[in-house]
Amino acid sequence: MASRGQRRLVPESRARLDDLKYEIAAEFGLPVYNPQYTHIQPKADSEFAAELGEFAGSENVAWRDLTSRQNGSVGGEITKRLIQSAERSLSEYGTL
C-alpha cells in the first residue's frame, strides 16, 4: 500500500485497512483470494460474493488478476469510507 520512501504514521492500521479492502471487494463481488480465511474455508470470499449475487464463479483470484478499474473502485471506496469516518468522528467532537 505505501510506496517506497513512505512511512506509515500508524503502523497498526495496516491490518484494519486490509480487512476493509477485502470487505469492500466482497461487497463489489470481486472474488479476491484472502489468505486470512484459508484455514476456515478456501472459497469463503467467493461464496460470500455469490450470496450477494455479484459473483457467479467458483475460484478466488489474486489482486493482480483484476482489472485496474476493479482495483481502483476498491481503493476509491476505501478512501470514501475513511473520509466519512473522519467526518463522523470530527462532528461527534463538535469541530466540524
User: Is pLDDT of 51 > 60?
Assistant: no
Model pLDDT, residue 96 = 53
DSSP 18-80: HHHHHHHHHHTT--B--GGGTTT-TTHHHHHHHHTTS---S--B-GGGS-HHHHHHHHHHHHH
pTM here?
0.65
Give the model confidence (pLDDT) of 9-29 as tens digits: 888 888 888 889 998 998 998
